[in-house]
Amino acid sequence: MSSKILIIGACGQIGSELTYKLRALHGDDNVIASDISYNNLDIVNSGIFEIVDAMDYKSVKVCIEKHNVDTVYLMAAMLSATGEKYPMKAWDLNMTSLFHVLDLAKAKFIKKVFWPSSIAVFGPTTPKEDTPQYTTMEPSTVYGITKQVGERWCEYYNEKYDVDVRSIRYPGIISWKTLPGGGTTDYAVEIYHEALKNKEYDCFLSKDTALPMLYMDDAIKATVDIMSADADAIKIRSSYNLAGISFTPEEIAASIKKHIPEFKISYTPDFRQQIANSWPQSIDDTMAQKHWNWKHSFDLEAITEEMLKQLKPKY
């Protein structure tokens, strides 16, 4: 019998594309998209949609029981930049939502959970190059703290209550369908829109700020792959390192100039520079490769080609 899936935070950057993919894989009637409001009409009008408040246990439980859900993808969270503006809101949303879903799994209302972690779990004292799966983790953002603590709780619920929760430390995600919100890596999405719209972009990070990034199709593939792997293949129940490519704003601008020669970039670092400086420049994802055959496909040139092709009609 096919899984009945609930995506919490389905209107967001990753949640929306995960919704389309899971519907294609499992059938529209087996995927319930949900969010706190109707803020992505494409998602709201493309299949079963429910208003679910991820911070309200009853709201989540009622939806799970109404649709006989057995698998939950918890994609609702406050990201790094917004989290620094509203630290306690970020803590409350990111942690309360996770406990509700883990407790529903512990109480056997659901069988399987996906929860996104992030490279934000690493901090200024973490080795920056080829950051290993196991290393020093002293995150200096509230978002990173919630992800580090969340990983500890996921591993605890798996070990103590046999909850089948699986997690990936996403790098910065680049996509064209839904704009990201409140992230430090969002420059790598904004730059394509601005290149097409204005042929120029003032980047909020400095030109040599290398960050680990992943194209959305690769991020969705990794999410589907880890969730469809046999439970005993998932040997790490905190969260898996995941890498795609690493590049700097200068390198992404050079890639765009190959298609839009007149494109100009300037740099005005803001508070997000400090966040980016605390994160790794590249990630070692050998464990994901070994345990569930992870492999990314998109390199920077392929990303630029795809982003400009898909966004061109908009501008």
User: Site residues (CB under 6 A) for ligand VAH?
Assistant: 79-80, 118-120, 143, 170-172, 180, 183-185
Q: Which is nearer to ligand VAH, 81 or 265 (CB)?
A: 81
Establish whether 143 is a catalytic residue. yes
Contacts of 152 (CB under 8 A, 6+ apart): 238
Q: Least Å distance between CB 154 and ligand VAH?
A: 16
Give the residue among 177, 178, 185, 203 at the shortest CA–CA distance from 263: 203
Q: Least Å distance between CB 11 and ligand VAH?
A: 16
Q: Which is nearer to ligand VAH, 9 or 183 (CB)?
A: 183
Q: Which is nearer to ligand VAH, 9 or 172 (CB)?
A: 172
Identity of the residue numbered 27: G
Q: Least Å distance between CB 167 and ligand VAH?
A: 13
Phi, psi for 279 (deg, rounded to 5)? -100, 160
Q: Least Å distance between CB 19 and ligand VAH?
A: 18
Instruction: Report which residue's Cβ sits closest to ligand VAH.
Output: 183
Q: Which is nearer to ligand VAH, 38 or 271 (CB)?
A: 271
Q: Which is nearer to ligand VAH, 143 or 176 (CB)?
A: 143
Q: Which is nearer to ligand VAH, 171 or 249 (CB)?
A: 171
Residue 191: other Cβ atoms inside 10 A: 23
Q: Which two tokens stand for residue 70?
A: 């057995």
Q: Least Å distance between CB 173 and ligand VAH?
A: 6
Which residue in 20, 143, 157, 170 is the catalytic one? Answer: 143
Residues in the chain: 315
Q: Least Å distance between CB 185 and ligand VAH?
A: 4
Positions marked catalytic: 143
